[in-house]
Chains A and B, each alone.
Chain A
Amino acid sequence: MNLIQQKIKEIGSDWELLVILAKRDISVRYKQTILGLSWAIVKPVATMLVFLFAYKQVAKIQDISGYPIQLVIFSGILFWNYFANSLQAVSNSILVNSNLISKVYFPRLIICFSSIAVSLVDFLVGLAVYIVLALSLHQDISAYILFLPLALFITSLFALGFGLIFASFSVKYRDVQQIIPLIVQYGFFATPIVYTTKQLSEKSWFLYYNILNPLAGLVEMFRACLISQYELLTVQNASISILASVLVFIVGIIIFDKREDSFVDYL
């Protein structure tokens, strides 16, 4: 616990640098404003349209959980993009910024934390699209949207924890980087992104599934914040996911701390 406290202090003392690095990433991303912004809109919308097509036209599925199918899919994709982009950004942050790391000293964690800023902005853009979509479908926005920052925070812990582990190892073992796209690809289908936990909840192994894939609880947490009267988030799911996120974050920090001193030797 002391380590976590010390690391948070480290980041706090260089907060200005974290902010300016985050600003750098965002302004590079949105430098060509039209392209940057439209990408954050087009990507989730296109993914949703593809699945709507597959469900309605090909598989003839009209309803997957009793909630508006567009909102279920879109909120899932919003969550997934935030998680996957953050995970990838954090995992690559040390290698991408190797020129900085080998030339200047600053707490290395800063570069990992600041790298999720772009995914956060993309998420906010997507959230605006979600609200427009929900209103156009004459759906209410859930009052629980006020808890969305909390859900984002817990997801960030999970993405950071995992990302820090990958970042720590990918400096020495470069092929670790190649695992992440696979996780993102398979995780998308192994997690209730384009379906919900409703179809799984009656299975005998549902509890184990939640433990093995804490992302399932996290995505339902997002939906509970976004879709009105969404009832698929259970206390059990939520607590498993929160516990797992905190645990992964702590493990990530411990591993990162053990390895950060040797980063420069391999860059």
Chain B
Amino acid sequence: MHIIEVDSVSKKYELSANKGAVSLKNGIKNLLTKEEKEIFWAVNDVSFALNRGDKLGIVGSNGAGKSTLLKILSKITKPTSGEIHVRGKVASLLEVGTGFHPELTGRENIFLNGAILGMSKHEIKSQFDEIVDFAGEQISRFLDTPVKRYSSGMYVRLGFAISAHLNPEILIVDEVLAVGDADFQKKSLGKMREVAANDKTILFVSHNLTAVANLCNKTLHLEKGRVKQFGETGEVLSNYMAALQTNRLEQSYATFESAPGSQQIRLKRATLIPELLDGQTYLDIRNKININIEFWNTEPNQQLNVSLHLFASTGECIFNVGTPPGNFGVGLVQANLEIPGHFLNDGTYHISFMVVKDKSIVLYNFEEVFNFEIADFREDTTWYGKWPGYVRPVFPFPIRQLSDSI
């Protein structure tokens, strides 16, 4: 007997010119004119079934329909078609501290949030001390302070502590682990593993593939709303990673006329090639990355240099490096950059570069030329939380015993 059965579930959104809420006037106008609407299937014909005790990881790129699927499973939104059968009490954690009211104290918010998540008053009361204890010493000191005075870290800790003490048969979790400091993430993942150890059923959406690999026995890979693969975690994840990773990125243009750029300079070719180790199928934090840029220059005797920016997915610039300026004539110019391994942390990055004249005049900025992902790699570790930081250098950092006495 399956505990969750999802049978060809689809969810359609109509994208009209005015998306979401509209004014009454436009609403009436739409009724009268029958405007052509663009139809978008956020979730398209998804089916799978889980047994009691299964831990399902849901992976996929942004916009693959993961969040919509979770909302359908949590009954927050109805599917356009298809059926879902759930046998058991469900709690869904789509964010930490849902419904926290800033004016209320930590204590009041524990009861409020607990009730919203489906705990009875009695359950909250009996677990109250444990929740406070789990949230940490700082929270217990500020239990009667309005949460608007909490730091964001405290807010998240309290929110997670409450959700960690839910006792549903089926738990639906969305990325909540991506928050909080490293220390707290460690604690939350520990709690997740503890929950995973008993026969609870968990559905877990995450970009943290390391966590999925370690917590989940089954994985669902979504792509553009459809099921790409559903099955054992190891198998699905390795296919997913291989598809996700581009081991060679190249942009090249055959003729000057068709190439992007300005009157003076045009891009001929740009490649990004990681140096993979033997048996490796995709790029991870250990690998060296070679970037090669070739461009045409149409003016004689120019002082040019290339300046390259690497951005994190959040839009922050991680670094900017430039070639030394040189004098170039008409023809092809090439620049090479080597980003060492064990330097960038895992994550999604994009690269832009510009060609600069006389050290200050930007001739052309080639934006988002490469978009790539670096996977995590760990050996001999018991911790699977997201490694913090944008860079992950391996500096010499020795530790030794200085003496035997205190």
A contact set with B: CB distance below 8 Å: 16-17, 20-21, 24, 27-28, 31, 99-106, 171-176, 261-262, 264-266
Contact = CB atoms under 8 A, between A and B. Distances in A.
A266 B104 CA distance: 28
Contact of B98 (A24, A103, A174, A261): A103
B21 A105 contact: no
B98 A173 contact: no
Contact of A104 (B13, B99, B120): B99
B104 A28 contact: yes
B77 interface: yes
Interface stretch (B109-117, B133-141, B228-236): B109-117
B363 interface: no
B120 A16 contact: yes
Given A28-B101, A103-B94, A261-B78, A17 B115 contact: yes
B108 interface: yes
B368 interface: no
A65 to B, nearest CB: 40
B20 interface: yes
Given A20-B112, A264-B77, A172 B22 contact: yes
A21 B77 CA distance: 21
Given A100-B98, A103-B94, A175-B23, 19 more contacts: A16-B120, A16-B121, A24-B101, A24-B104, A28-B101, A28-B103, A28-B104, A101-B76, A102-B71, A103-B95, A104-B76, A105-B75, A173-B21, A174-B23, A175-B25, A261-B77, A261-B78, A262-B78, A264-B71
Given A105-B92, A172-B21, A175-B24, A100 B74 contact: no
A173 B115 contact: no
Contact of B76 (A16, A21, A172, A264): A264
Nearest to A178: B24
Interface residues of B, number: 31
B92 A104 contact: yes
A38 to B, nearest CB: 18
A173 B71 contact: no
B24 A27 contact: no
A104 B71 CA distance: 9
Interface in B112-146: 112, 115-118, 120-121
Contacts of B20: 265-266
Contacts of A24: 101, 104, 108, 112
B127 to A, nearest CB: 15
Interface string B24-64: 11010000000000000000000000000000000000000
Contacts of B103: 28, 31
A171 B77 CA distance: 14
A176 B76 contact: no
A199 B112 CA distance: 49
9 contacts: A20-B111, A20-B121, A24-B108, A24-B112, A100-B98, A106-B116, A172-B27, A173-B21, A173-B27
Q: Is the interface of A mostly helix, strand, loop or mixed?
A: helix
Q: Is the interface of B mostly helix, strand, loop or mixed?
A: loop
A171 B24 CA distance: 11
B77 A104 contact: no
Nearest 10 CB-CB pairs, A to B?
A: A105-B75, A20-B115, A173-B24, A264-B77, A261-B78, A103-B98, A103-B94, A100-B99, A174-B21, A175-B23
Given A24-B101, A173-B27, A103 B21 contact: no
Interface in B70-116: 71, 74-78, 92, 94-95, 98-99, 101, 103-104, 108, 111-112, 115-116
Contacts of A172: 21-22, 27
A27 B108 contact: yes
Contacts of B116: 17, 100, 104, 106
Contact of B21 (A16, A264, A266): A266
Contacts of A261: 77-78
B120 to A, nearest CB: 6
A106 B77 CA distance: 11
A2 to B, nearest CB: 20
B92 A173 contact: no
A27 B104 contact: yes
A266 B13 CA distance: 10
A31 B144 CA distance: 13
A175 B94 CA distance: 29
Contact of B24 (A101, A176, A265): A176
Nearest to B77: A264
A228 to B, nearest CB: 41
A102 B121 contact: no
Nearest to B23: A175
B77 A265 contact: yes
Nearest to B20: A266
Nearest to B117: A104
A126 B98 CA distance: 34
A184 B74 CA distance: 38
A103 B175 CA distance: 13
Nearest to A28: B103
B86 to A, nearest CB: 11
Nearest to B19: A266
Contacts of A105: 74-76, 92
Contacts of A21: 112, 115
A176 B112 CA distance: 30
Interface string B9-20: 000010000001
Nearest to A18: B115
A262 B71 CA distance: 13
Chain B CB within 10 A, most for which of A20, A31, A99: A20
Contacts of B23: 173-175
B338 to A, nearest CB: 45
A104 B98 contact: yes
A97 to B, nearest CB: 8
Chain A CB within 10 A, most for which of B13, B112, B115: B115
Contacts of B74: 104-105
